[in-house]
Every structure is written in C-alpha cells, then in structure tokens.
C-alpha cells in the first residue's frame, strides 16, 4: 500500500503547530530561568548585606565585652590591693619574689643598654 497525500498533509498540519508550541515553551522557559537567576542574585546580595551587618554587630559586641572585662580586671586588682593593704595593716610581712632579678649596667659611652636575667656571682 502506498500512502496517500492526505496522510502527509495531516502530519504536516500536526508538526508545524507542535514546533511552534515547543519553540514558545522554550522561549518562556528561558525567560523564567533568567528571571529566577536574577531573583537569586538579589537574594544573595540581601544575605551578604545581612552578613556584613551581623559581622559589624559582632565586632561591636566583642569590643564591649573586652571593655567590660577590662573594667572587671581593674576592679579585681583594686580589691586584691585592698586585701594586701589589709594584711600589711594586720602586721603580716609580705616579701616580693626575688628569684628573677634584672641587672642593668650603665655604660659611660652612649649606646644600647644591656639587661640580664642571670644572677651576679660575687667572688
């Protein structure tokens, strides 16, 4: 059997609209994909700005923490010196640690000063 022209015309009528529909779907899909990429780029930019703001807040909080800790150390050292003064007032003797004594020799000529942590031998 030989195919008739009506079958060929029928296929031709089907292929042309099908190709046009596929072409339009591809075009709209490409536009949708491009708009999605742009939306993701905007979201990334917003997240980067949020991250930078969070890092700035973190740095400010770390500086405030360091400030408060230094005040706490000063307060603790002040309390410690008050306790030492109270011990001295009570009559307890308190000697400093003399294990590491630094000897500085003065030169008559101008130049760098030498410092030593060694103990002088008295012979």
Helix (H) or strand (E) holding 73: helix 5-90
**Tell me, what's the pLDDT at 1?**
47
DSSP state, 111?
A: S
**Across the chain, what does the average pLDDT equal?**
78
Predicted confidence (pLDDT) per residue in 66-99, tens digit: 888 887 777 777 776 666 666 655 555 555 556 6
Asked if residue 23 has pLDDT above 90, the reply is yes
Average pLDDT over residues 92-120: 62
Query: Which tokens in the block code for residue 109?
Result: 């000529």
Q: Which residues contact 42 (CB under 8 A, 6 or more apart)?
A: none
**Tell me, what's the pLDDT at 106?**
67
Task: Output Rg (C-alpha) for the chain, integer angstroms.
Answer: 43
**Tell me, what's the pLDDT at 42?**
96
Query: Which tokens in the block code for residue 73?
Result: 């150390």
CB of 115 within 8 A of CB of 102? yes
Q: How far apart are CA 45 and CA 52, in angstroms?
A: 11
pTM above the 0.85 mark?
no
Lowest average pLDDT, out of 9-13, 40-44, 53-57, 76-80, goes to 76-80
Residues paired with residue 116 on neighbouring β-strands, in sequence order? 103
Measured at the alpha carbon of residue 70, what is the angle toward residues 66 and 72, in degrees to the nearest 5?
Answer: 115
Asked if residue 58 has pLDDT above 90, the reply is yes
CB of 102 within 8 A of CB of 117? yes
Q: How far apart are CA 79 and CA 55, in angstroms?
A: 36
């Amino acid at each position: 059997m030989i195919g008739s022209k009506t079958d060929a015309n029928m296929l031709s009528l089907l292929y042309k609209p099908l190709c046009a529909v596929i072409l339009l779907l591809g075009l709209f899909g490409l536009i949708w994909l491009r708009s999605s990429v742009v939306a993701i780029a905007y979201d990334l930019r917003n997240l980067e700005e949020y991250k930078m703001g969070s890092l700035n807040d973190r740095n400010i909080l770390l500086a405030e923490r360091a400030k408060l800790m230094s005040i706490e150390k000063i307060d603790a050292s002040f309390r410690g010196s008050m306790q030492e003064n109270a011990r001295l007032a009570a009559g307890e003797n308190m000697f400093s640690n003399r294990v590491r004594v630094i000897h500085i020799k003065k030169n008559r000529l101008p130049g760098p000063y030498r410092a030593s942590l060694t103990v002088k031998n008295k012979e």
